[in-house]
Amino acid sequence: DYYVDSRHYRYACLSCFYKGLILYNKKDYVESIRLLLKSLLISDKFNDDFIKAKINEAIADVYYSVYNNKEAIRYRKLASKYYNLAGKKEYALFSDVDIAREYAGIHQFDRSIELLDSISSEFDFEDDALKGFLTESYIFPLSELDRNKEALQKFREAESFIKSRMLNTRDCSIVADVLLKNNMPDSALVYIDIARKYDIDGEDAIQYHFFMKDYAKYCGNTVEYINEKDTIYALRNRIVGNVFKNDIALAERDFYNEQSMAYAVRSERY
């Protein structure tokens, strides 16, 4: 408020941005989106494409967290655009890979792979972390298309790029499933153990239980197979409940409605 009142717009913008990130980390997605949208609005008062890119990326992360992949894609495209305008090509490529992952999230697996192929064909960076992230992003869509041998090959490539850095922990359950489908159950259990220990959602992650369901079926354990299916349904119901509770699309609409009303009041006063 101090920075807004004193017209230090860059600091005002960053204050809203960082508070929005704090609220995001606290999983208060409705208040987070309000602060990030306010930050985006203030960013129009000064010229910094890099900051605009970071804000749009953060908004995309919020939408991703409430399973609204379509809106996440829209904001990631804006992030990529502003990163390119800021001359941050490598950042833009990370955003482009995220877009491909979002398409996989809405079951557009072929489109996801096409976009990853397009990024790969234009790739001219030596950044192993980016190469690893790009390569591991193939694993989920290939697995969902039952192209399990190709998924395993991409996993091996990603390992070679990432070296000492662990795979994205959210992908460890997916990797475990790919290894299981390639008849490598012991290796699969190593990765599911990593997911269990280090994934922020741990055993609450739905992908973890998809693997455990497949593993129970692989072992012929009918009781565990049914239990895991029940767990998946319960988690899905909880996810749907959280999506309705954190309806950030409505929060975004309300934010812009409030801005329009405030503008109308100012106009009337003039």
Query: Mind listing the pLDDT tens digit for each residue in 162-218?
Result: 654 555 666 788 889 999 999 999 999 998 888 887 766 667 778 888 899 999 999
Instruction: Give pLDDT, residue 47.
Output: 92
Instruction: Give pLDDT, residue 263.
Output: 62
DSSP string, 49-83: HHHHHHHHHHHHHHHHHTT-HHHHHHHHHHHHHHH
Calculate mean pLDDT across residues 137-148.
93
Residue whose C-alpha is closest to residue 104's, from 158, 151, 145: 145
Dist CA 53 CA 83 (whole Å): 6
Residue whose C-alpha is closest to residue 166's, from 154, 178, 158, 174: 158
Instruction: Give pLDDT, residue 126.
Output: 75
Residue whose C-alpha is closest to residue 78's, from 103, 101, 60, 102: 60
Dist CA 93 CA 181 (whole Å): 30
Residue whose C-alpha is closest to residue 190's, from 202, 173, 213, 210: 173
Is the pLDDT at 266 greater than 80? The verdict is no
Instruction: Give pLDDT, residue 166.
Output: 53
Dist CA 153 CA 157 (whole Å): 6
Among the ranges 24-28, 55-59, 211-215, 225-229, which has the highest mean pLDDT value?
55-59
Dist CA 122 CA 104 (whole Å): 21
Dist CA 230 CA 241 (whole Å): 17
Q: Which of 15-19, 130-134, 149-153, 264-268 has the lowest mean pLDDT?
A: 264-268
Dist CA 153 CA 139 (whole Å): 9
User: What percent of the chain lies above the pLDDT cut of 70?
Assistant: 85
pTM: 0.79
